[in-house]
Chain A
Amino acid sequence: MRPLGSVHDIPVGEGRAYAVDGEMVAVFRLRDGSLRATSAVCPHKGGPLADGQIDLRQVVCPLHLNAWDLTTGCSLSGQPEVTVYPVRLDGDQILLGE
Chain B
Amino acid sequence: MKQRLVVVGNGMAGARTVEEILARGGDFAITMFGDEPYGNYNRIMLSNLLAGVEDEAGIFLNDLSWYADNGITLHAGTRIERIDRFAKTVYTADGTPTPYDKLIIATGSSAWVPPIKGIRLPGRGYHQGVFVFRTLDDTRAMIRYAREHERAVVIGGGLLGLEAARGLQNHLDHVTLLHAASHLMNAQLNERAGKTLQRIVEQKLGIEVVVDATTTEILGRHAVTGVRLSDGRVIACDVVVVAAGIRPNSQVAADSGLVVERGIVVDDQMRVQDEDDIYAVGECAQHRGQVYGLVAPLWEQAKVLADHLTGADPDAAYHGSRVATKLKVAGVDVASMGLQLPEREDDELLEFAEPGKGVYSNVVIRDGRLVGATLVGDTRKAAFLMQAFDLGLPLPEERAELLFDLGGPPAEVSPAEMADDAQVCNCNGVSKGTICATVTAGCKTVGGVMDKTRAGKGCGTCRPLVQRIVGWATGGEVEEDPAASWYVPGVPMPKPELMAAIRRHELKSVSAVFATLVPGGTEDAKSKMGLASLLKMMWGDEYIDERDARFINDRVHANIQRDGTFSVVPQMKGGVTTPAQLRRIAEVAEKHDVPMVKLTGGQRIDLLGVPKEKLPQIWADLDMPSGYAYAKSFRTVKTCVGSDFCRFGVGDSTALGIALEERYQGIEGPGKMKLAVTGCPRNCAEAYVKDIGVVAIDGAKWEIYVGGAAGAHVRKGDLLATVSSAAEVVQLTGRFLQYYRENGNWLERTYAFVPRVGIDKIRAIVVDDAQAIAADLDAAMDAAIAAYRDPWRERTDPVTPGQFRTSLPLTVLPRVPVRA
Q: Which residues of A contact B (CB under 8 A)?
A: 8-19, 22, 24, 26, 31, 40-41, 45-56, 58-60, 62-63, 65, 67, 77-78
Contacts and interface: CB of A to CB of B under 8 A. Distances in A.
B562 interface: yes
B457 A56 contact: no
Interface string B455-478: 001000000000000000000000
B548 A19 contact: no
A41 B454 CA distance: 20
B525 A67 contact: yes
Given A31-B511, A58-B525, A11 B547 contact: yes
Interface string B789-802: 00000000000111
7 contacts: A11-B801, A13-B549, A17-B809, A24-B811, A47-B562, A60-B525, A62-B553
Interface in B792-820: 800-802, 805-811
A63 B802 contact: no
A16 B802 contact: yes
A78 B528 CA distance: 22
B453 to A, nearest CB: 7
The 7 closest A-B pairs by CB, nearest first: A13-B548, A48-B807, A50-B807, A11-B800, A51-B552, A55-B525, A48-B564
B173 interface: no
Interface string B279-317: 000000000000000000000000000000000000000
A78 B452 contact: yes
A60 B526 contact: yes
Interface residues of B, number: 35
Contacts of A14: 547-548, 555, 800
Contacts of A55: 522-525, 528
Given A60-B525, A77-B451, A77-B454, A12 B805 contact: no
B560 interface: yes
B560 A63 contact: yes
A50 B553 CA distance: 13
B810 A22 contact: yes
Nearest to B515: A31
Contacts of A41: 808, 811
B546 interface: yes
Contacts of A58: 525
A14 B806 CA distance: 13
B551 interface: yes
Contacts of B526: 53, 60, 65, 67
Given A63-B560, A63-B562, A78-B454, A40 B807 contact: yes
B541 interface: no
Central interface residue in B546, B549, B564, by most chain A CB within 10 Å: B564
A92 to B, nearest CB: 13
Given A24-B810, A48-B807, A51-B552, A10 B801 contact: yes
A47 B564 contact: yes
Interface string B662-680: 0000000000000000000
Nearest to A29: B548
Given A11-B800, A12-B548, A24-B811, A53 B562 contact: no
Contacts of B552: 51-53, 62
